[in-house]
């Protein structure tokens, strides 16, 4: 068990910077997800934590201790590889016992611990089978069991679910949560799937192009994204982003989209944009469930007019794709009363609107008002 501090870590491969000035604090026993698109440096970060890759700059501390000069073998880090890295020339039993055997654990202990882990992972029936004969799902469980059996101080999982079929993925997701509670270990979990990260992690570190975008609890990240990338990356259905030029000042601000739609802004959102400096324009972020139809509920809510282009049913919800001057907006339709082609008035809840600088992507908050 261990806390982890990643302090200003940079990793360069030649000229290319894969991870840039990354700092993350992980408390003992926490479940942290590294979330980001493919190629953003998640695996590289994991490799540096595990010691498979050396940081170009910065340091990684375990309980305040720098392990960079400790051989990988003695770090006691559990690592589940993206493709499991099962020892295919051995039996399932030998796979599970490997970490114990090489650490000279007494024979009788090995037998009982392997049996317990096999039972925990539902692998008892195939203990003597060659590991190569397992299904992908079983390999996944074996990979986790093999790392967990040695009781590592921390547990790293690199996209452990991405190769699984949908049903088993959902099962493993809840299983992982249970396992983490049982083991009580600090876990770092890499994924490019924001739903996975949101549902599993205590904290999420969102990374883009090697840089940390935001680090916080799933709700924080969802409700209060610190930039346009995070807002866009987190949440399903996706957030709506209205890009355009900000015109006017002091009370009567307008956002004019490329399609020519004029969105009048009042109150908080208007003052947020007072901070905008870039000439490229600004961007309003609003989640589909924060758009409503019917009567205006608050005076600052933004009123828009559009027609219904498409209706989409996602589970019990109905999503409406609205077209406003060649800009598409997706809203959740609670009333279930619209049909394709309808012209409607709808409202963006003012409190939930977020202002972003279109150039830097930064969140703009708290202007003069």
Residue 150-169 contact track with another protein, rule CB under 8 A, x = bound = x-------------------
Report the C-alpha gap between 126 and 46 in whole angstroms.
Answer: 31
Match 């925990």 to its residue by tokens: 120
Q: Which residue is nearest to ligand ADP (CB)?
A: 43
How far is residue 175's CA from residue 155's CA, in Å, rounded to a whole number?
Answer: 15
Site residues (CB under 6 A) for ligand ADP, limited to 263-322: none
* 88 three-state secondary structure: coil
Q: How far apart are CA 58 and CA 172, in angstroms?
A: 34
Q: Is the peptide bond before 105 cis (omega within 30 degrees of 0)?
A: no
Among 2, 5, 43, 240, binds Mg ion (CB under 5 A): 43
If one asks whether residue 44 binds Mg ion (CB under 5 A), the answer comes out as: no
Cβ-Cβ contacts under 8 Å for 177 (sequence gap 6 or more): 31, 200
- Looking at the Cβ atoms of 45 and 270, the one nearer to Mg ion is 45
Q: Please report where in the chains the tokens 């295919």 appear, as a residue.
A: 88
Q: Report what 41 binds from another protein, Mg ion, ligand ADP, none; CB cut-off 5-8 Å by kind.
A: ligand ADP
Distance CA 272, CA 269 (A): 5
Between 131 and 204, whose beta carbon lies closer to ligand ADP?
204
Q: Rounded to the nearest whole angstrom, what is the least distance from the CB of residue 53 to ligand ADP in the complex?
A: 8
Q: Looking at beta carbons only, is 40 or 255 nearer to ligand ADP?
A: 40
**What residues contact residue 248 under an 8 Å CB cut-off, 6+ apart?**
254
Using CA atoms, how far apart are residues 136 and 263, in angstroms rounded to an integer? Answer: 51
C-beta of 48 vs 242, nearer to another protein: 48
Region of 11-19, 163-171, 242-250, 353-361 interacting with ligand ADP (CB under 6 A): 11-19
Task: Tell me, residue by residue from 20 to 59, as one string, x for binding to another protein by CB under 8 A and - for no binding.
Answer: ------------------------------x-x-------
Separation of alpha carbons 110 and 95, rounded Å = 12
Cβ pair 308, 341 in contact under 8 A: yes
Contacts to ligand ADP by CB under 6 A: 13, 16, 18, 36, 38-44
Contacts to another protein by CB under 8 A: 50, 52, 72-79, 81, 83, 85-90, 98-99, 102-103, 146-147, 150
Contacts to Mg ion by CB under 5 A: 43
């Amino acid at each position: 068990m261990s806390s982890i501090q990643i302090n200003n870590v940079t990793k360069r491969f030649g000229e290319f910077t894969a991870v840039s000035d990354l700092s993350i604090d992980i408390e003992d026993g926490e479940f942290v997800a590294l979330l980001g698109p493919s190629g953003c440096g998640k695996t590289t970060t994991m490799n540096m934590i595990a010691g498979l890759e050396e940081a170009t700059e910065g340091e990684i501390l375990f309980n305040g201790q720098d392990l960079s000069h400790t051989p990988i073998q003695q770090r006691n880090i559990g690592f589940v590889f993206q493709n499991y890295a099962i020892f295919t020339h051995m039996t399932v039993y030998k796979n599970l016992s490997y970490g114990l055997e090489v650490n000279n654990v007494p024979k009788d202990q090995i037998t009982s611990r392997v049996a317990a882990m096999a039972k925990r992972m539902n692998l008892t029936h195939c203990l003597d089978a060659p590991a190569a004969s397992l299904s992908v799902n079983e390999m996944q469980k074996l990979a986790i069991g093999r790392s967990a059996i040695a009781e590592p101080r921390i547990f790293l999982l690199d996209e452990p679910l991405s190769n699984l079929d949908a049903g088993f993925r959902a099962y493993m997701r809840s299983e992982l949560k249970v396992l983490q509670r049982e083991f009580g270990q600090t876990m770092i979990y890499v994924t490019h799937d924001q739903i996975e990260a949101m549902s599993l992690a205590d904290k999420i570190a969102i990374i883009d192009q090697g840089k940390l975008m935001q680090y916080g609890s799933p709700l924080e990240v969802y409700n209060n994204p610190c930039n346009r990338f995070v807002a866009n990356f987190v949440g399903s259905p996706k957030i709506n982003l209205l890009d355009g030029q900000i015109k006017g000042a002091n009370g009567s601000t307008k956002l004019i989209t490329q399609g020519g739609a004029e969105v009048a802004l009042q109150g908080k959102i208007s003052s947020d944009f007072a901070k905008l400096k870039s000439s490229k324009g600004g961007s309003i972020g609003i989640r589909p469930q924060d758009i409503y139809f019917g009567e205006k509920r608050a005076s600052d809510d933004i009123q828009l007019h559009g027609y219904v282009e498409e209706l989409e049913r996602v589970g019990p919800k109905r999503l409406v794709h609205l077209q406003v001057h060649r800009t598409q907006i997706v809203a959740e339709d609670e009333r279930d009363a619209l049909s394709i082609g309808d012209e409607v008035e709808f409202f963006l809840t003012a409190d939930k609107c977020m202002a972003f600088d279109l150039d830097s992507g930064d969140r703009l908050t708290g202007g003069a008002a």
